[in-house]
Structure 1
């Protein structure tokens, strides 16, 4: 609360141009955060950031052309989902607190939560990954190439549950070069990487925390692909390629470069726009992590300057703390996020609707412009 600007009910209502009753309705719907006043417990104060977000949204929808042009911007919902919700600084997988879930759950258990309709546990059956497998591949470029190669191989028709398990195991096999069999994926990765015993649980926690993040760029790529009727494997390939970009999962490489040479490498930017009070995934992953001394110093500086690290920072610090292969941060991110991609692909295909937005044509000699908001 200390980092939030707060307004009184009169100020918030006036800024929105609504009555107090409407303001309270917005609060009850979770659109505006409300807090007790530290000076008068009977008074409620309201998050200015949430009020301004609603003001901007109302302005957009009063002008259809502006609403359409900004439909893919941060903060403006463009489709409905029952998979993941980011609310009040928390992350929820189908209504379950993802941070609490990460304390004990495996990625396999999390996948069964995210992907609806998996009545039987498909992870109890042996995998059928064809041999021989290529050698291990860790890090964005090699891992993505190897995973795409394995996912693109012709596959026999399988029931949905078996296909979900097969795709997740293929992703792990792309990293390790070994068929996981029925071994839980966090244990499989830890064994293949010869990680210290205490790293096994950190990898498990990281996989769960990375499993989904609402409509991220990669999830949107998955949904667009799935909306065309493409296979689950091809939809996952789309997500994987999108994740590899330097402003998404590839951010881990930029973070590592910064940690290796603080003050010399460009700062990648640490604060996550969806979490004004800090990324809860990072906090959960960094808890009890035996940080390198230099990383602990950097972490304090990040907390003071930006309000806390992002999950990308936490993943790289986990990699360094346990001496995992360079690039393991991205690999863990990608394998964990595959669970969410599968859930999004299946949900999108069930809607039987093609995602096909329109573009606004701009002449070659006319620079692209965006209508200013009032």
Structure 2
């Protein structure tokens, strides 16, 4: 019988940070299961850890180290904006879940951008109707990018002004009426949601504002390193977020919920897993003990029976707990929001983080230009 270790024991034997342990789990190199004595915690297979520790002791080539850093590996870009540490999301030294209890997206931008006052995301144009969304966001942000000034040689204040305008463009495209009120209130107005629903939207936007060096943030930083206009950097992030393995997960959760409503949660999950599809809305490599963002957001929503049954069935089948994508689906279903609201909220909230990373990358003065390891034919 395999021996199982606690997280603390696993970290001690590997001599790595928690993020690296979670990366090994996500790549299937270390087995993980819920702790039978306390299902809120996880345990890790000792045999896998021993084998991995042996390989690490032998050392690796620089090229192998560089390659592994691209996919949930060791941190590779210095940032002071956010991190995930011991299962907690941190925004410049502040716990993001605690911040979401009271802050607006504008106040969160002040934290992430290092401002003394909340940002202002005024939308000069009428908000797009329900049928707006992704297409309107791409079109309006692309226009702003085409007309934007290159970012090189400019100060942080000027760049933040461009960022605020770009976030306002996205808010308008996603349904926020024109005005200067906080975006969560304007979105709630555009989506005909009451004050309680507006508060849930506010919390979701804050929880989504940044998440370390995820794929869309990395894309925004790459664009920023070339000196692209601020809106173009956010457009790079938006394009990357549109992929089904990133911002498209919310749409997949909505489909899974529809399957569960028709066929039952157990049958729906069996169908997804039997087609070798990862189960959307559950589990996260950086949160093996559960996504705190999902816990915080779900606490503000009256979830429906379908999603509750999905949570129970998913845990029995996989041991995975809800992540932020399931929480966004619960918010969408509970408030009767547009079906693509998970993507709209994700993109609008995360645009604040993209802007923070963009300015940090620009002011660093460095270009992101990795080398490829060529394995093709030679002359």
Normalising by structure 2, report the TM-score: 0.78
Counterpart in 2 of 1:160? 159
Counterpart in 1 of 2:180? 182
- How far off is 1:297 after superposition? 1.4
1:184-241 CA deviation, whole Å, 9 max, x = no partner? 0100100000013321110000000000000000000001000001111100000000
Q: Which runs of 5+ in 1 are unaligned?
A: 17-22, 34-45, 366-374
Matched, 1:142 2:135: yes
Counterpart in 2 of 1:151? 144
Check whether the contact 1:251–1:268 (CA below 8 A) recurs between aligned residues: no
Aligned length: 334
- How far off is 1:153 after superposition? 5.4
Matched, 1:289 2:301: yes
1:107-165 CA deviation, whole Å, 9 max, x = no partner? 0000000012x234442xx8473x5x574366764254344345335258983343232
Q: Partners in 1 of 2:286 and 2:207 — Cα distance?
A: 15
Matched, 1:55 2:53: yes
Gap change, CA 1:304 and 1:138, over 3 Å in 2: farther
- How far off is 1:75 after superposition? 2.8
Q: Partners in 1 of 2:350 and 2:51 — Cα distance?
A: 28
Check whether the contact 1:212–1:341 (CA below 8 A) recurs between aligned residues: yes
- SS of alignment partner, residue 83 of structure 2: strand
- How far off is 1:169 after superposition? 1.1
Q: Please give the residue correspondences for 1:232-311 in structure 2 after superposition, counting only pairs within 5 Å.
A: 232-262=230-260, 263-264=267-268, 266=272, 268-269=278-279, 270-305=282-317, 306-311=319-324
- How far off is 1:8 after superposition? 9.2
Q: Which runs of 5+ in 2 are unaligned?
A: 23-42, 261-266
- SS of alignment partner, residue 213 of structure 1: coil
Gap change, CA 1:190 and 1:183, over 3 Å in 2: same
Bigger CA radius of gyration: 1
Normalising by structure 1, report the TM-score: 0.79
Matched, 1:331 2:328: no
Q: Partners in 1 of 2:147 and 2:229 — Cα distance?
A: 11
- How far off is 1:60 after superposition? 8.5
Matched, 1:317 2:317: no
Check whether the contact 1:139–1:331 (CA below 8 A) recurs between aligned residues: no
Which residue of the other structure, out of 48, 64, 68, is the alignment partner of 2:62?
64
- How far off is 1:84 after superposition? 0.4
The worse-fitting range, judged by mean Cα deviation, of 283-292 and 329-338 is 283-292
Counterpart in 2 of 1:360? 373
Q: Partners in 2 of 1:200 and 1:128 — Cα distance?
A: 18
1:45-101 CA deviation, whole Å, 9 max, x = no partner? x97789679838945853223112322021321111100010111100001000111
Gap change, CA 1:326 and 1:139, over 3 Å in 2: farther
The worse-fitting range, judged by mean Cα deviation, of 158-167 and 313-322 is 158-167
Q: Partners in 1 of 2:312 and 2:207 — Cα distance?
A: 22
Counterpart in 2 of 1:371? none
The worse-fitting range, judged by mean Cα deviation, of 294-303 and 247-256 is 294-303
